[in-house]
Structure 1
Amino acid sequence: MIDQNLRIAGVIDESIVDGPGIRFVIFTQGCPHHCPGCHNPQTHDFAGGQEVKISRLLADVQADPLIGGVTLSGGEPFCQPKPLAELARVLRLGGKHIMTYTGYTWEQLLEMDDPDVLALLRQCDVLVDGPFVQEQRDLSLRFRGSRNQRLIDVPTSLEQGRVVTTTCAHL
């Protein structure tokens, strides 16, 4: 593993609301979207939070046998794709499910034509895409805050060259 620094706002050691099963959640620091009504506005400042080695986060996840997956949230994870892709790669080798939240749409991520963004996408099982839109807020949605956001099955979408959504019900 290539140990890299990652700027984070914090973590949740065990969550059942940020994806299927019991998950370790990493809140990245820095976000360009500034969505009105954002759930994590303290993560917007790119100079905030703290830097940690991805090896430390990996050790924290591996120390808890109840963790079935890791959720990358924010801030905006795709502002730090290189260290997150490496962390997610090692976690997936260990059998962890990776779910990532982004304020970008799937289409915007692909248009970036950035190899690090694509590397992170390739390590994701599920992507929740799109900005939070307060006017479309819907508390009945599973793992999403607003109706415009999609739960995307990333491996299938990459394979088929089109967005394929999921309900995460099978997980």
Structure 2
Amino acid sequence: MTSQIRIAGVVKESIVDGPGIRLVVFAQGCPHHCEGCHNPATHDFNGGQLVAIDAIIDEMKKNPLLDGITLSGGEPFLQPEGFSELAKCAQAAGFHVMTYTGYTFETLLEKKDQRWQRLLRYTDLLVDGRFEAEQKSLLLKFRGSHNQRIIDVKKSQQKNQLVLSEIS
């Protein structure tokens, strides 16, 4: 079990990073370097700070207003052991888990990396795809560009086909 993750920061209460009120954890390190990235400070893999997963879960449990946790980036799938552990603990505590990734859902599945599959297993909603500045829209719910999708991971796994979330 991984006890720490490298993060760029935490937002304790957000209403723009998923349904309801959410704690948002920003992974440190990203290979995508999307033009117009909302979080360029997260790109450096050596930046940020190491934080105990238990400390994040404890922080969540202190706030009765929280509906869930959002794993954003940087790229959470490049720290799959730690972020899957965080997601698993959050779900066990009754929280909804939403994960952002620059990879497409299909790429995550094709890679057949068991560590990536574990993070997907503990993700309820996935926002996939790189941010594309030419497809940017401020009118989209919980995503920055039209190419990005909000995927219901559980339903997609049950039906063995891509199922978009009703909130998209």
TM-score > 0.5 by shorter chain: yes
Match of residue 82 from structure 1 = 81
Match of residue 21 from structure 2 = 22
Q: What is the correspondence of 1:40-119 to structure 2 with a 5 Å cutoff?
A: 40-119=39-118
SS in 2 for 1:25: strand
Which blocks of at least 5 consecutive residues in structure 2 are unaligned? none
- Whole-Å Cα distance in 2 between the matches of residues 7 and 15 of structure 1? 20
Deviation at 1:42, TM superposition (A): 0.3
Match of residue 124 from structure 2 = 125
TM-score, length of structure 2 as denominator length: 0.97
Where do 4+ consecutive residues of structure 1 move more than 6 Å?
A: none
- Whole-Å Cα distance in 1 between the matches of residues 165 and 21 of structure 2? 19
Provide the alpha-carbon RMSD of the alignment.
Answer: 1.0
Contact 1:3 1:53 in 2 (8 A): no
Contact 2:20 2:68 in 1 (8 A): yes
Q: Deviations over 1:97-149 (max 9, x none)?
A: 00000000001111121111000001011000000000000111100100000
* Paired amino acid for 2:154: P
- Whole-Å Cα distance in 2 between the matches of residues 33 and 68 of structure 1? 29
Deviation at 1:86, TM superposition (A): 1.1
Match of residue 134 from structure 1 = 133
* Paired amino acid for 1:6: I
TM-score, length of structure 1 as denominator length: 0.95
SS in 1 for 2:108: helix
Of all paired residues, the percent bearing the same amino acid is 55
* Paired amino acid for 1:155: K
Which blocks of at least 5 consecutive residues in structure 1 are unaligned? none
Deviation at 1:3, TM superposition (A): 5.2
